Structure 1
Amino acid sequence: MNLLVFDIETVPDTDGGRRLYDTEGLSDEDVARIMFHQRRQKTGGDEFLPHYLHRIVAISVCLRRGDQLKLWSLGDPESSEAELIERFFEGLERFAPTLVSWNGGGFDLPVLHYRALIHGIAAPRYWDVGEQDNSFRWNNYLSRFHWRHIDLMDVLSGFQGRAVAPLQDIALLLGQPGKMGMAGSLVWDAYLAGERGRIRDYCETDVLNTYLVYLRFQLMRGQLDRADYDAEQARVRTLLEDDSRAHLQSFRAAWAG
């Protein structure tokens, strides 16, 4: 089975903000301030933008396929949003993997839907609910209670909004490194500072945290026995040992196991 754990990082879609709020001629930073202000006015204080006004600047994935485990960020730091989204859906077309996320159903996938719509990106396998492949009628990416996309936050909460937990807290409770000083709320500042590489690194560590939670989930539901679980954790450790990049070595050092 092919398994793809994924995460996205986003910033305000300032081009969209210019269209919606007639702010041509202003800098991205000033447009974003207006977008946040408009959002606070509408919500009574919450400035988190609606899904369709997020622009994707990083997509990181961990692919478990055969005997391989691979972690990377799609494209490069200068890749356009459209290229990142195209690469993501091309991977789904090629491998038809089981998707794993943390809050992917509530955030990542809806953002990908809107941004793919804006860029005119086709993803027929992702949107299939049985018209092309009959097996997708009973197990597809879109249905909340199917297993082709496992949103761990949603599943572990029993699909109850009042029971959801942040990835950071669950990761730390399981002895994982968590976010190590970075957070989604800091991505915009990092982007303005030109730190696209740092954003991608952070996205990759979120994917690692999510994958380790997934392994524990599979142990809990009996899909892995203890020996298999230990072997999969060892596979993650080997991946970290073989990759000298600083953020992964920091993750390795912080991981209690």
Structure 2
Amino acid sequence: MPNKIQLEHILFLDIETVPEKCSFDQLDDTTQELWAHKSQYQRKEEFTAEEYYDRAGIWAEFGKIICISVGYFTFQGKDRSFRLTTFHGEETTLLQEFKTLLNDHFNHTKNILCAHNGKEFDFPYIARRMIIHGISLPNKLDLFGKKPWEIPHIDTMELWKFGDYKHYTSLKLMAHVLGIPSPKEDIDGSMVKAIYYEKNDLKRIVTYCELDVLTTAQVYLRLRNEPLLKDDEVKKVAK
């Protein structure tokens, strides 16, 4: 159960991704063909491969990570705080920086990674992009040979399923039904590509990503039946 894990041992995270290229016509012929084949089932006859390329960011083979936001609890006596920071910029660099964080501060057996839908998206996406860039996997993402109960990952969506594996609940919906105040987001996931490639506003995306990390932590607190974080307990720190 969630209450058995000490909060300071958990690293909460979220990633934002975009297609690896700004537009379909920037892909080489082989990649265009592979994208058409990969996306065929999802787009069916409704969209051409080019029209569907805006959604390429959800596949690690055709997308890239533009930021990884993380949050963690610290305690001083009875006082707690939740610290937020973000790795962003060139993908290879941010992945290396994130790996260093894991290796230096969250590499103990007691440490756990937590994300909403993380087991289906964030954790494997990060691992695949690391492999693509020739970065060896940190222990917390290397699942080879691990038994299910040895995998150091928490997924708030999985916790909410209670064994119902066909049930999907968005982070926004889960926060709403649990009475968690909605963060003042001015974008949603469908807007990230345009904001990144057309408006060149990575800072806005980072803010959105950090708010999702905070919301994930709040959801986890509610699942533990613990008090939500107050505004003065949330601290933004430089990486």
TM-score, normalisation: structure 2: 0.74
Q: Report the equivalent of 2:213.
A: 207
Q: Residue in 1 aligned with 2:194?
A: 189
Deviates more, 1:43-52 or 1:184-193: 43-52
1 CA distance for matches of 2:125 and 2:74?
26
What residue number does 1:5 align with? 12
Deviation at 1:42, TM superposition (A): 4.0
How far is 1:80 from its partner? 0.7
RMSD: 3.2
Between structures 1 and 2, the one with greater helix share: 1
Q: SS of the residue aligned with 1:74?
A: strand
Residues 80-102 of structure 1, C-alpha deviations (whole Å, 9 max, x = no match) = 10111111121111122311100
Cα distance in 1, alignment partners of residues 160 and 233 from structure 2? 27
Match of 2:64 in 1: 55
Cα distance 1:35–1:194, how it changes in 2: closer, same or farther (>3 A)? farther
Matches within 5 A, 1:208-247: 208-219=214-225, 229-230=226-227, 233-234=228-229, 236-240=230-234
* Inter-partner Cα distance in structure 2 for 1:122 and 1:130: 13
Does structure 2 conserve the Cα–Cα contact (< 8 Å) formed by 1:16 and 1:53?
A: no
**Alignment match, 1:87:** 97
Shift of 1:57: 0.4
Aligned mates of 1:205, 1:197 — CA distance in 2? 13
CA distance in 1, matches of 2:94, 2:185: 25
Is 1:114 equivalent to 2:128 in the alignment? Answer: yes
What do residues 26-77 of structure 1 show as CA deviations (whole Å, max 9, x unaligned)? xxxxx8xx998766544214844333212000110101244452111124xx
- Pick which of 51-60 and 175-184 moved more: 175-184
**Which structure carries more relative contact order (alpha carbon 8 Å, separation 6+)?**
2
1:211 shift after superposition: 0.6
Q: Is the 8 A contact 2:18 2:65 kept in 1?
A: yes
**Contact 1:172/1:178, CA 8 A, preserved across alignment:** no
2:118 corresponds to: 104
Q: How far apart are 1:7 and its partner, in Å?
A: 0.2
Question: 2:167 is matched with which residue?
Answer: 163
* Larger deviation, residues 85-94 vs 204-213: 85-94
| Displacement after TM superposition at 1:161 (Å) | 3.6
Instruction: Mark the CA change 1:182 to 1:13 in structure 2 (over 3 Å): closer, same or farther.
Output: same
Superposed CA deviations along residues 136-172 of structure 1, whole A, max 9, x for unmatched, are x66xxxx4x5562101112211343421201111112
CA change 1:213–1:40 in 2 (3 A) is same
Q: Deviations over 1:106-165 (max 9, x none)?
A: 11111111110111112342255699xxxxx66xxxx4x556210111221134342120
User: Runs of 5+ in structure 2 lacking a partner?
Assistant: 1-7
Mapped to 1, the partners of 2:213 and 2:90 lie a distance apart of 21
Number of aligned residues: 208
Native 8 Å contact 1:171 1:178 kept in 2: no
Gaps of 5+ in 1: 24-30, 132-136, 220-228, 244-257
Cα separation, partners in 2 of 1:65 and 1:125, compared to 1, 3 Å:
farther
Equivalent residue for 1:149?
153
Q: Pick from 204, 209, 232: which aligns with 1:198?
A: 204
Distance 1:154 1:12, change over 3 A: same
**TM-score normalised by L of structure 1:** 0.69
- Over 3 Å counting, the alpha-carbon distance change for 1:114 and 1:147 in structure 2 is closer
Instruction: State how far apart, in whole Å, the 1-side matches of 2:169 and 2:184 are.
Output: 15
More strand by proportion, 1 or 2? 2
CA distance 1:204–1:35, shift in 2 (3 Å)? farther
Alignment check: 8 A CA contact 2:127 2:141 kept:
no
Tell me the SS of whatever aligns to 1:14: coil
